Structure 1
Amino acid sequence: MTRRRDARVRLPDLLALEPRRLLTTLIAIVDSGVDLNDSSVVPYLDLTSAYDAYNERTYAQAGAQAILDTSLTHGHGSVVANMTVQGIVAAAAASSRPPDVKIMPIRDTSSGLNIDPNAVIRGIFWAADHGASVINLSVNFTYNASLSDHDDPRDGSTLVDAIAYAQSKGAIVVTAPGNAARSIELIPVFPPYADDPLYSTTRPTPTNVLVAAAVDANGVLTPVSSWGAVHVDLGAYSGPEGATSYSAAYASGVAGVVADLLPDGSSPRRVLDVLESTVTPTSQTVGAWSKTGGVLNPAAAVARAVQPLASADGSIVIDAGAASDVDFQGGAAATTTAVVDLGGIPSPPDATVFQTARQGSAFSYAIDGLTPGSMYHVRLDFSETRYDGPGQRLFDVLVNGVTQISALDVFAAAGGENRATARDLIVQADGSGRISLAFKGIRGDATVDAIEVSPSTDIAAGKPATSSSIESWSYNPALGVDFSPTSRWSSGQWMQSTSTAWYAVDLQDFYTITDVRLDWERAYAVDFQIQVSDDGRTWTTIKTVAGNQAYGVMDLSGLSGEGRFLRIYCTQTSAGSNNYSLFDLQVSGSRLNDLAQGATATATSSESSAYTPPAAFDNDATTRWSSGQWMQGSQSAWLTVDLGSISAIRDVRLVWEAAYAADYQIQSSVDGKNWTTLQDVQGTGVVGPAYFPDLGGVGRYVRILCLNPGPINDNYSLYDFNVYGEPLTNLATGKVATSSTNESNFYAPSMAVDANPASRWSSGQWMQNTTTGWLAIDLGAKYDLGAVVLNWEAAYAVDYQIQVSDDGQDWTTIRSVVGNAKPGVDIQGGLSGSGRFVRIECTRLNWALNYSLYDVQIFGSPTVAATTTSAAVATADSPAWSTWTASAAVAPVATAPLAAPTPTVVPASLTVLPPPIRRALPAAAFAIRSPRVPAPAPSFARVGRPGLRTSRN
């Protein structure tokens, strides 16, 4: 690609805005602008939402000046746009239908290519809010830059925050590793490090970032390109210049086409998986150079993006081994002309799927684009068309890494050759909306004919079931939840010693139960109760049925109850029957929001790499954390989870292994340093489930502080640690704040609501002429307050009041605190009051002679005009503010360091850097730029971070 430099460029007139179809896939280029004279680029521009993020003006407002490349002698953004078009064209050439992909230009610089971090962050938010599916960034920072603009409602948001926001809007971010010809694993660089939790406070850490190193037409790393075995994902063509800005742009173009071809609603992770799973493996002289070890392959990516075959009911059907089979890794396609008998499975798929199969000693499928955390019915269809007897082919099937089907013999299961059989599973999609299936041969190889995936509304299907008695193994409890309408459970008229019997199912997570469907055999229950339980021991009745006079299907809706276990408790048999029998039990409900699932966890110690803290938060009932009786230096140990944001903590559920704690405390914290005890268990800890409802806590961190082990073991071990509640929004962040006095502009009231924990407001001991001082915040609208969290500097208030006002003039005190004795985090929960303005009125000084606050956080819900005079009642959808514990009532527990090793921190993603290197990393000076034309040093006139550099790649 060639381009004249230093040429005179004609400034185009205002282009007419092109009407855009809603289905257009947009690639946002956040850069120095575009060349409106480039005939290869202009047809791909969509200017409807074009934006100058530096001057904060739209194309509609300012015309071509808003997006024209400001680096006219360098043409950086112009070349990036051209390379993006090349990526679009390369991918489109492999597609059977023309993709509808356009470019949304967003400028982030002033004249001369002076990069403004504020504009970069603004640009990402703008792109996400205006429909971009792909966001291209050609910039590196040596730190996680933050937006510094008090007039912007997102003031204080970091670069990683913006990338996470883009993920929430369904967009991926494509970026470059830089042009330093080195491994970026040796020094942090953003945005490539955005998905590394060790370098980001954003929780959960975004997973929508694609980092593209630069390769030439032969797939070889260019002389200037940086690389990284952990933080670089793949290589991409970079044109003759070879800079990573252009490889990222090319990858953005391909990503845009893939996003356009995938089904509507596909997640950002789905787009990245397609790109990463179809690379062409390529070795480099530097050794391990990227996570995938391969170069972007546009044609293969487009082929993988083809939608799987959908059945009539909307479920996904993957015809293994057929031309449409694109979600696999490994194995080989096999075909047969044999006619397969489908009589052995209910509702079989089309017969043609049994003419092909995927086979091999080890292969896998990754099914993406699902709803994260939702339950799915996965049915695997098999037939044996090669072997003529049992025992010749045995294999395992692993679901999300756990063996669910062991030593399957298809011939034996189907009852012969050329006969179909199926296995049904209920599977939860992971946090990225994926279900992973792995097939591993034990004798011979593995095989599968079809994979069917459909949303599961029956949360009892396939779950562990128990009963008071069974007639025989042919009528065992599992047959009541086994997907078959003909098999059944029977209590047995001889085994059942009384007219009372029960049938229970473990839902394996906590749900709000709404509907139950029973399909009774002729031995039905006349009188029975539907009950729920948290622990399988103590039961609560949510529905009583008396006088039932019919067998068959019975639908019970409008139920309301929460629990992990559901039981049908039968007390009166039908006439002529002395037992109870169920063909089918189906349960509908919504899963409670487990704030801790997949969150970052830490602990005092871990027994080994097999028993690390994340194992208690992985939604896998078989894995666990263990403190280790040899690693644990004392009787005390703790396990902490970071929820990612301050939340209302309603319930906590634990599942202890045999090494349980006899004495322990459940604690919450806003800052991870100062702890409030929500539940104190003394001598009553037991192995198995433990459930603690209505804790009324608030915090970002939740900790199990183990104080005394049970009688058998000398350590502590948890299978599961669940936290139920609702994330809370800090109403004060970025709002207008005023105060009685300020020590200086460096300690202005806005510093207490700026999302920066290091900045603070100070009344100033010289400015404050009385012992009274105040800080007030305008929330912008009226709210019902539930809690206020203060973080006092050393100059804390001993006595103060929390006050509310509708007009900022007349104040009502809703909480008086007397005798506060320390700085740090001060949680005031259980508030009752409404107002638009909130004031901290300080009335008694400590030794410091002034008042100073690092942070004020305010939580509540918008005030709704009351229709009656009755008091508002907290519902399941709104935090139960009235149950929150005020710190004045329950003093925070400031725990001293435990006699244990340094806490083990296990991040969500691993890194190849050894800890000593990472701790020694410098905080500055990693600036790189395309080596094409010497460029002026970046200007930081609008950036409040002197000494830190940023650059184009």
Structure 2
Amino acid sequence: MYLLPYNLMKQSIRLILLLLLFSAVFTVPSPAAPGDEQKIDSFESLASWKADTSAGVSLMTDLVPGKQGKALMLDFSFQPERASVTLTKNVSFTLPDDYAFRLYVKGQPSGNNIELKVINKDGTRCVKRWNGVTLSDNNWTALTCRKKDMQFTWGAEGIKSNPCRIEIIVSKGFEGGSGTVCLDDLTITELRDTTKKLRSTATASSQDGENTPDKAIDGSMETCWSSEASNDQWLLLDLQQGEDVGGIILYWGQAYGAEYEIQTSVDGTAWDKVYATQEGDGETDDIYFKKRFARYVKINCIKSAAAGFSIKEIRLKSAEEAIIPSASISQQPNDIENILDGDKNTIWRTPFNGGQWLKLDLQKIRRYSGLTIHWDSDYASEYDVLVSNDGDGWNRIYSVRSGDGGRDRILIKNGESRFIKIDLKRSITGQGYGIREIELRSHAETTSTQKY
């Protein structure tokens, strides 16, 4: 038997241990075909992540049950005003021409900020920051961002070669604080060229005879999807890959949804509600919502106006058709984007009374027939609605001088402009304004004066 000298044996063992450590810390995801998803980390181990904190922050890490396997839990105490926790991982993968990152999170409390940094060897980096993230202790939330949604720093054109490091930062938000954040399944997906449109598919909870789900996306108003004659049905669209969606148009049959909601998802598991109504009136519903990156779009039909549900056709709006909101000021984390998130439990709020405003940019001159404002308790008792085609010259089309809050439904006859502005003159509380949701009715919708 041949035996190595003792010193040489020690060096060999040391080399083997270093190689094992290197393989654990330096992860190389396998190449993926366009549209496929690469897993950067599934958080099954703590070994590949290094944790740091800002001054005065205490932190404990642990592995907890994840979406399927395990997840990494950060248990932190945020006492200082600018408190943060940073996780760092060495990586090696190629950024495709277009891509989307996704990270699953859950925990408590809501209101803290989460940031993803992808860093190159020369210091160039791309960053995405989610402010005031709403978390749940029970349900996972998918944080998703496309390449075009990321900010590139230390290099105007961003990262050109392989990234070498990933950082995930949790920092104290305006209404956040001490608590826990669990992380699971950090992935990157290469996106196909969306000019080569893929054929979407449709499935449903049920169907009536030959009125199959695909009839809702076949381009014909002579066919339709029909469900069985009961409430609580759904229709699901699979776009085959993630895309930016800015709204949806529903062309109902006679059995329309009196109550329904629209949800989007990047993976078909974690869902975000982007629109909901309990006052559906059938025919055409032309719905705008905040731009979403999604692969799946689901229409949850809750209550029918007849027996079951029937949809003749569905058209999804592109990112170029989404509404872009802006405001004079926002009291964080109650950001202006909350007025278009389909959730009346979130609010846009200003800290001041007097001359405040919000503006809707339709991205080009469009026609519309009405506007609905869902106020919070600090509603505007006086306000004006103005429109403009260029954002400079404004025409007032509606005024309120004794508003009573709740919900204001405004009929706009032959409305047509690129910009819509709401000038807030006076708050009922004298301490600022709060709006939960704004809905814009397209000219294509059937509108009755009784409803408005």
TM-score, with structure 2 as normaliser:
0.42
Q: Of the two, which has the highest radius of gyration?
A: 1
- Pick 1 or 2: higher relative contact order, CA cutoff 8 A, min separation 6: 2
TM-score, with structure 1 as normaliser:
0.23
- Report the structure, 1 or 2, having the larger helix content: 1
- Report the structure, 1 or 2, having the larger strand content: 2
